[in-house]
Amino acid sequence: MVFEKIQEIVAEELGKEKEEIKLNTNIQEDLEADSLDLFKIINEIEDEFDVKIETEDGITTVEDLVKYVEKQQA
């Protein structure tokens, strides 16, 4: 469920099709997102899951976001 919601958020923020976004998708390289895009995606994820993502460091793939959220929710 976490992946599906993050997939939806990333697709909406970047104007991409959900099918383009896989766990191993690199947000900046594969989806051509810049730092502002990543900031917006993180804000949406924080609001949706009621978590705080302290830093963008180490977050490069969709899977990184999913794992971060799941860890915060545990």
- pTM of the shown model: 0.91
The fraction of the chain above a pLDDT of 90, given in percent, is 85
| Residues designated catalytic | 34
Taking residues 29-57, report their average pLDDT: 91
Tell me what pLDDT residue 40 has.
95
pLDDT of residue 44: 97
Q: What average pLDDT does range 33-47 have in this prediction?
A: 94
What spatial distance separates the first Cα and last Cα of the chain, rounded to whole Å? 14
